[in-house]
Structure 1
Amino acid sequence: MSNAKVMIVDDALFMRNNLGTILRDKGYTVVAEAASGIETMKKLHACDPDIIFLDIILPDANGIQLLDFIHKMKPQAKVILCSAIGQEAIVKKGLDLGARFYVQKPFSPEKIAEALESLGE
Structure 2
Amino acid sequence: MATVLITDDAAFMRMQLKDNLTKLGYEVVGEAENGRDAVEQFQELKPDLVTMDITMPEMNGEEALKEIKQLNSNAKIIMCSAMGQQSMVLDAIQAGANDFIVKPFTPERIEEAVKKVL
TM-score band w.r.t. shorter chain:
over 0.9
Q: Which runs of 5+ in 2 are unaligned?
A: none
Map of 2:102 onto structure 1:
104
Segments of 5+ residues of structure 1 without an aligned counterpart are none
Per the alignment, residue 9 of structure 1 pairs with 7
Q: Give TM-score, length-normalised by structure 1.
A: 0.91
Amino acid at match of 1:69: E
Task: Give the aligned partner of residue 25 of structure 2.
Answer: 27
1:18-52 superposed Cα distances (whole Å, 9 cap, x missing partner): 10010011110111110012211221221011110
User: Which of 68, 71, 74 is residue 70 of structure 1 equivalent to?
Assistant: 68
Alignment coverage as a number of residue pairs: 118
After TM superposition, give the deviation of residue 85 of structure 1 in Å.
4.1
Q: TM-score, structure 2 length as denominator? A: 0.93
Superposed CA RMSD in Å reads 1.2
Q: Identity of counterpart residues, as a percentage?
A: 39
- Aligned residue for 1:71, secondary structure, equals helix
